[in-house]
Amino acid sequence: MAKQKGLGRGLGAIFGSETIGIKATPMSEMAEVQVAHCIANPTQPRRTFDQTALEELADSIRTLGLIQPITVRKQGDKYLIISGERRWRAAQLADLETIPAYIRDVDDENLHAMALVENIQRQDLNAIEIALSMQRLIEECGLTQDALAEKVGKRRSTIANYMRLLRLADPVQLAVKEGVISMGHAKAIASVENDKLQVSVLKKVIKASLSVRQTEEYVKKALESKSRNAEPQTEEEYPESYTRLVEHLERFFSQNISIKRTKSGGGKITIGFESDKDIEQFIERFSKHEI
């Protein structure tokens, strides 16, 4: 069996002899349970499931069966899912009648903590979902960031980076959740404290398709400008005609474009470049659009 990757070291390491303010309980032997008798955990951190990925998993289950059992808790004549809701959903699509499961005897607090840790360990969660799971585990199980880092086998700086994402402006968090920008982009944007400027940087990252490195440089310049008591220029501060002009210029230039307007109504347009090679690229782009 391949070594599990991701944020954690496995539920066994966390809920074995170690304690995090919750009582660990032994795992029973695996049993086959009715798919129809399983119910989703309403407090589980994961909220969205990619339908295409579920269909692909269902196809795999039809061919190979369900290799990894889910984990459940008996609840009346039903089984409340602790971990493996995605596998259970795919099993439903594959028309399975029964599903292999580990049945645990756990209280509500332990149940919720296990669901949180299981989600933190997953690789297919976006960074915001992981950060939210970490936050809930810290708050609801009384952990410090140091304690959480120890339990999931990661450095405290990694935990801190995830938690910083939750302080981002809502549009930036949404961009991370939808995969529009990466965690690296978000980490760079998080260096900016002002929500309005964060959204401005986000727009620039998306429009200019900036890499993480370019985003870091762009943010660095914005912060340097702020430290000189000069408000960084943002597109939304100008009339619509200014925004349209920038959009036209960005067809030719991927570099930073800024417009500075004076009180008299004049101003200047600045197009940054890093080397002579950039100038040659500008000329080449212009030649392709000559009439």
* Residue environment code for 226-265, b if the CB has 16+ CB neighbours within 10 A, otherwise e: eeeeeebbbbeeeeeebeeebeeeeebbebbbbbeeeeee
Find the catalytic residue in 32, 55, 85, 284: 85
Q: Which amino acid is at 259?
A: I
Which strand ranges, in their side-by-side order, compose the sheet holding 27-34?
27-34, 98-104, 70-75, 78-83, 38-39
Write down the number of H helices and E strands in the chain.
13, 7
Q: Is there a catalytic annotation at residue 85?
A: yes
Could you give phi then psi for residue 55, rounded to 5 degrees?
A: -65, -40
| Under 8 Å between Cβ of 198 and 192 | yes
Helix (H) or strand (E) holding 71: strand 70-75
Q: Looking at the DSSP assignment, which residues form a beta bridge with residue 229?
A: none
How far is 16 from 4, CA to CA, in rounded Å? 17
Residues with active-site annotation: 85
